[in-house]
Every structure is written in structure tokens, then in C-alpha cells.
Amino acid sequence: MSTETAGDSVAAEASADLQTLLKLLDVERVDDDVFIGQHPEQVGPRTFGGQLLGQGIVAAGRTLTKGAPPVHAVNAHFVRGGDVTKPLEYRVDRFRDGKPFANRQVTAFQDDEVIFTMLVAFQNNAAGLEHAVAIPEVAYPEDLPPISDHFEGYEETVEAFVKALHPIDVRFVNAPAWKLKGTGEHLNHNRAWMKTDGPMPDDPLMHVAALAYSSDTTVLDSIITTHGLSWGFDRLFAATVNHSMWFHREFRFDEWLLYATESPVAAGSRGIGSGSLFTRDGVLAASVVQEALIKYFPPRS
């Protein structure tokens, strides 16, 4: 008889990058309400916002007692850029514990400076009024190429994306920004299917954390594609200011979700990207709103 556990089996079937993500999300508990998070080897100039979201959600969830309600909302603010050479200390404040509701505040520190803070709300799902917007009509993920195909010929243009960690299988419905740039097309929305690149543990908290990690990708694309701009080709600076998510229904993130995003406004050197995450059968599982500082430096004439 095999002594391999279910968790070991899941890890063995996950891609190497997904295994890295699962380890990142598995923050180390050093006190009742204090957790340490690490960085991966593949890093950018500052801590990836999705990493802070995912690790913070896991830290908050692990301070709840067994049978506590699931995550239903997160509201995060990015205060400083994280140093990718140093670990992150997550301190959790317990605001409320109850059967239908629980609330936590998670604050990430480096060298005793706050770099990130987030409110995490937990609530049991109950019967009530229901409605939702419809899923856009798009091609199925099996009919779309993996993101690696979109990198071909653009390895130097979007080098940071190519070298980044890729724990998520992403299938663009429309062409990504760097391909649209060559067509001159302006696109006021973006659509991409996403799921983890391999199976996930059954723990719902990990699925929420992994989705939060992934929600920090592509959500700002509609800001720049509305103006016919692209990462890599144009001089752009972007930094997330705040990020909110609402989880409406249960889902598994090792099954396909469509991330349908658009940008309702850009003003004051800031832009907002909003997104809806649909299951394959059209159920709206989660909603996202992100605000970012975004600056464009036009070429000198």
C-alpha cells in the first residue's frame, strides 16, 4: 500500500511553478497571530502584489477556528514596495469571531515598516436574492493557445513577463497588449481563461489565495489597451494602490475561470481595472476592482 498522502499526490502532479506558489502561500506561523512569508527566486523590482494578497489571506484564515465561515471579501492597500531580498512578516489583528461572520486585519511589515495592509471578511453563504451579469460569449480555453505561444518573438519586449513565475495556465481570448500594439487596435476590455497549472489541495482557503494571487495579473491591461498602448513597447509605469475582491460562490481554481476585465476610468494619473471571474458554466464566482498609479511617458517629438 502506498504511504503517499493526498497532499503529496497533488504536489507531485502540479507544475514546478505551481509547487513554488503553493509553498509561497504556505506562510510559516511563528506566533499565534504572526506569520512569515518568503519570496520566490523569480522576482521583479518589488514584491508582487498578488503574492501579498495570497499570503495575507492565508495568514488571516489560519487564525480562525475550525468550522469558521469562508472568505467573502478582501480590501487591500499597498503602502510601500516590498524588498524582494527580505522575508515578509504578516501580523493579524482579530476584530470579530462568530459563526456567520469573522473579520481580520492583516498588516505586512519589513524592517518594522508597513508595506501592505488588508481587511479580510469571512461570512457564511446563505439563501437569499440572486442575480448576476452573464458570462461573455468567448472561445473555450481548449481552443486557445497557452501564454507561452504569445511570448514567441516578443521575448525581449516583455522579458519581465517571460521570466516571471508561471504557476497559472493563462489562455488569452483576445490578443495580449504586446500583440495588439502591432495592429493599432484599441481594446476597452480583456478576456483570459485562467486556472492553476495542475491540481490544488482541497482546502478552499488555498483556492481563494491562489485566485487572489492571479487576480493581480491582466486586470490593468484594459487601461492601456484602451489607449492603444502596451507593456514593453511604451514607456509606462504602473504600481497598484489598492485592490478589492468579493467571493460570491464556491469555486475551484484548478478548474477554468474566465477573467473578464475592463477599465471604467483613468484620471489623475490613476486608473481602475474591474474584473469578473466566471466558472466555465457561466456562474459569476468573484469580482475584482483594482486602482493603480499609472503613468505614460510619450516619446519626444
Active-site residues: which are they? 216, 240, 290
- The string over 160-181, giving b where at least 16 C-beta atoms fall within 10 Å of a residue's C-beta and e elsewhere, is ebeebbbbbbbbbbbbbbbebb
Query: What are the CA-CA distances from residue 42 to residues 20, 206, 220, 268, 276 (Å)?
Result: 10, 21, 21, 32, 28
CA distance 178 to 274: 20
Q: Which run of H or E residues covers position 3?
A: none
> Would you list the DSSP string of 35-81?
EEE---SS--SS--HHHHHHHHHHHHHTTSPTTPPPEEEEEEEE-S-
Query: What are the CA-CA distances from residue 106 to residues 90, 115, 152, 160 (Å)?
Result: 6, 11, 40, 29
Q: Which residue type, as a one-letter code, is found at position 271? A: G
Query: What are the CA-CA distances from residue 190 to residues 124, 173, 271 (Å)?
Result: 32, 8, 15
Residues in the chain: 301
